[in-house]
Structure 1
Amino acid sequence: MPEVSLADMPGLVGTVVGVSDWITVPQSMINMFADTTLDHQFIHVDEERARTESPFGGTIAHGFLTLSLLSAMNFDCVPKIREQTMGLNYGFDRIRFMSPVRPGARIRGHFKLADTRFRGAGMLMTTYDVSVEIENEKKPAMTATWITIVQFDPKDRPETV
């Protein structure tokens, strides 16, 4: 995994900074997510009922499961910032679930750095335009605008910002 410095970040705005490895989403993962979140809606966990009563022809992953996998995708492919002491999830400006993720599908994240902004002495706010691709599908599973905060020692703040 390549590393970048805080000073490099503004120059990366507008570029795709990473594409994650593929993650397979088996029915067992969907079932465990349903158990964890207490969301047992039939379209996620009842294969027979979903096959006959849903417009999807079978079960599908929770949109929030796809969203939650962004952390693993990010960790897999987004360059590490040398000076970072901690990273925080600040939130999302926009999330759209575009296509269902079916059991057994493979998905991966594409991360485009949309903006960076230094805040205070020891924080960098980063905004990523993220798209989650489904293997062999034209339409993405999800798109999002994700905001994170990189914390660093104020002594490491680039003088040019």
Structure 2
Amino acid sequence: MRVFKSPAELRDAVGTRLGVSGLHTVGQDRVDLFAEATGDHQWIHVDSARAADGPFGTTIVHGYLTLSLLPVFAEECYRIDTMSMMVNYGLNRVRFPAPVPAGTALRATADLTSVEDVPGGVQAVITFTVESGAGGKPHCVAEAVVRYFD
């Protein structure tokens, strides 16, 4: 885990890896709760019997559920000790190259792509790559835009 004293210290870390998270298993119970919260009850996510005969052989985690885990992963990859506030500003690019079977343990790497000044702090673009221990294509690659204020 990388530790920064202030948002300004991020400038010197552009182009480097901020860290690698631990593994987090995304079970069917979490998938079902996400379906309830979002209204996305597509059978590939919530119907185990039908999904067993589907293209993936099991239920799969919603792409947006995988994406929503970025704050969990970030917390384990890096921290900024002194800041008044952090704001998720948006995403530049998100891709889901490979499905995530329910019950898969996921981890992410965080790479600092860029930092620029904004009034009162800095705006960072952090590229997260979410993968499992199975190898192959990543499950999610996302450029998160985050603002950190002094």
**Could you say whether these structures have the same fold, taking a TM-score greater than 0.5 normalized by the shorter chain as the test?**
yes
After TM superposition, give the deviation of residue 83 of structure 1 in Å: 2.6
Q: Which amino acid aligns with 1:68?
A: S
1:9-158 alignment to 2 at 5 Å? 9-52=10-53, 54-78=54-78, 80-120=79-119, 122-152=120-150
State the alpha-carbon separation in 1 of the partners of residues 8 and 118 from structure 2. Answer: 14
Larger radius of gyration: 1
CA distances 1:87-120 after superposition (whole Å, capped 9, x unpaired): 1100101000011111111101110000011112
Change (3 A) 1:19 1:96: same
Gapped regions of structure 1 (runs ≥ 5): 153-161
Task: String of CA shifts for 1:11-52, please: whole Å, max 9, x gaps.
Answer: 100000011111001111111111111111000000111112
What is the alpha-carbon distance in structure 2 between the residues aligned to residue 92 and residue 71 of structure 1? 13
Provide, for residues 115-135 of structure 1, a one-character-per-residue CA deviation record: whole Å limited to 9, x for no partner. Answer: 011112x12100011100112
For residue 60 of structure 2, give the secondary structure of its aligned residue in structure 1.
Answer: coil
Whole-Å separation in 1 of the counterparts to 2:112 and 2:71: 15
Identity percentage over the alignment?
38
Provide the rounded CA distance (Å) in 1 between the counterparts of 2:38 and 2:133. 26
Task: Give how far 1:2 is off.
Answer: 4.9
Q: 1:155 matched to which residue of 2?
A: none
TM-superposition CA deviations, 1:56-84 (whole Å, max 9, x none): 11110000000000111111221x22331
Q: How many Å separate the matches in 1 of 2:105 and 2:58?
A: 16
Mapped to 2, the partners of 1:36 and 1:142 lie a distance apart of 21
Q: Tell me the number of residue pairs that the alignment of Structure 1 and Structure 2 aligns.
A: 149
- In structure 2, C-alpha distance between the alignment counterparts of 1:136 and 1:43, rounded to whole Å: 20
In the aligned structure 1, how far is the partner of 2:147 from the partner of 2:43?
Answer: 37
Q: SS in structure 1 opposite 2:84?
A: strand
State the alpha-carbon separation in 1 of the partners of residues 107 and 115 from structure 2.
Answer: 23
Given the two structures, how large is their TM-score scaled by the length of structure 2?
0.94
